[in-house]
Amino acid sequence: MNLLEYISDPNRDFAAGEIILVDKPLTWTSFNAVNKIKHSIKNHPSFTKDGVKLKARVGHAGTLDPLATGLLIICTGKKTKEIENYQGMKKVYTGTFFIGATTPCFDLEKEVDATFPTEHITKELILETAKTFVGEQQQTPPLFSAIKVKGQRAYDIARAGNEVELKSRSINIESFEITAIEMPSVSFKIICSKGTYIRSIARDLGIALKSGAHLTSLRREKIGDFDVANAIEMPPKSNKFD
């Protein structure tokens, strides 16, 4: 189902609240998706009560990086009050790491800044190292992230050429499965808690392998029991509203 088909359903009540599962396209920000939804539903009849136009409230329950695709939960109307409930659910991701090189942002947003030897890295070493990441632990987020530092987004500080030390946070990796190894590419499936940065796992995996690594693709498959298989497709991006 696409967005137009979804919002055309006469049984939808966006003011009372809808939970919209979106398959976020590559290069879209999470706010691009929110703005597209907001613009698409703002004139829906449910936002008019007793002849008065109501404000179309829309928000998302957990950011996805522009270079990631997959499940994004968007809430409308009164359902926006439940956003924190969905943010706390465990997540399922699939994707690929590149072994032997790093980037400043730990993914493909920036160019490679260093390369490392990989001759010592075997399939067995990768599989055994991945096992050590399972469980509760402390993780340091990427500097290129939406975390706020003294009122500023960390990525704004980083893009201005400045550095700031981000505090580590508690996360839990429930499962870290290596699904394919075709060096230098390693495919994975990770089940993890709220607040986990897969880009940071890429960085830390590279260090643990006595090499370097960065994220080359990422897709969010699930949030709790919500599955991207049930998500709607977004229309082409337009500069006017996205």
Tokens 């796992």 label which residue? Answer: 201
Please indicate whether residue 13 is annotated as part of the active site: no
Catalytic residue among 65, 156, 225, 227: 65
Instruction: Report whether 210 contacts 120 (CB < 8 A).
Output: yes
Strand residues in the chain grouped as ranges (E): 19-24, 48-49, 52-53, 58-60, 68-76, 91-99, 101-102, 114-115, 135-139, 148-149, 152-153, 169-182, 185-192, 213-223, 226-227, 232-233
In 3D space, the residue among 82, 73, 96 whose CA is nearest the CA of residue 225 turns out to be: 73
Q: If you write DSSP's letter for every residue of 135-191 in order, what string do you get?
A: EEEEEPPPSSSS-EETTEEHHHHHHTT---PPPPEEEEEEEEEEEEEETTEEEEEEE
Residues annotated as part of the active site = 65
